[in-house]
Amino acid sequence: MSIRIDEGRCIGCGRCTEACPGNLLLLKQTEAGRRAEMREVRDCWGCTACMKTCPVSAIGYFLGADVGGNGSTMTMEQKSHFYHWHISKPGQDEVVITIDRENANQY
């Protein structure tokens, strides 16, 4: 399992770098401006803190076989006070799980 950052969406706000408890994310300078980057993909344990803090849904999460199967992805979209978790697996319909942000850490 690991996160991946969509550089095309990232606006370089730095929130994810502050949210990661393992200090795994950093900001790099690119031609398009600041962008978040993962220091070491293997060190990520998938807490999703970075995803929850990203204001533009630029961080995706790739699910391992134990929780979703190879090729499955999870992205998060924030609307109002809800998190909408989108889970996609090739060849299957997308599943969306909606959770009130105030209760997000109870699951």
Please name the helix (run of DSSP H) or strand (run of DSSP E) that holds residue 52, with its range, or none.
Answer: helix 49-53
Single out the residue of 51, 38, 53 nearest to residue 87, CA to CA: 51
Place of tokens 């990661």: 20
Q: Measure the CA–CA gap between 96 and 88, rounded to whole angstroms.
A: 9
Residue 16 binds ligand SF4, judged by CB under 6 A: yes
- What is the amino acid identity at position 95? V
Residue 24 binds ligand SF4, judged by CB under 6 A: yes
> Binding pattern to ligand SF4, positions 44-83, x when CB under 6 A?
xxxxxxx--xx-x-xx------------------------
How many residues sit close enough to ligand SF4 to count as binding (CB under 6 A)? 27
Residue 104 binds ligand SF4, judged by CB under 6 A: no
Q: How far is CA 17 from the centre of its chain?
A: 12
Cβ proximity to ligand SF4: between 93 and 107 the closer is 107
Q: Which residues bind ligand SF4 (CB under 6 A)?
A: 3, 5, 10-16, 19-20, 22, 24-25, 36, 44-50, 53-54, 56, 58-59
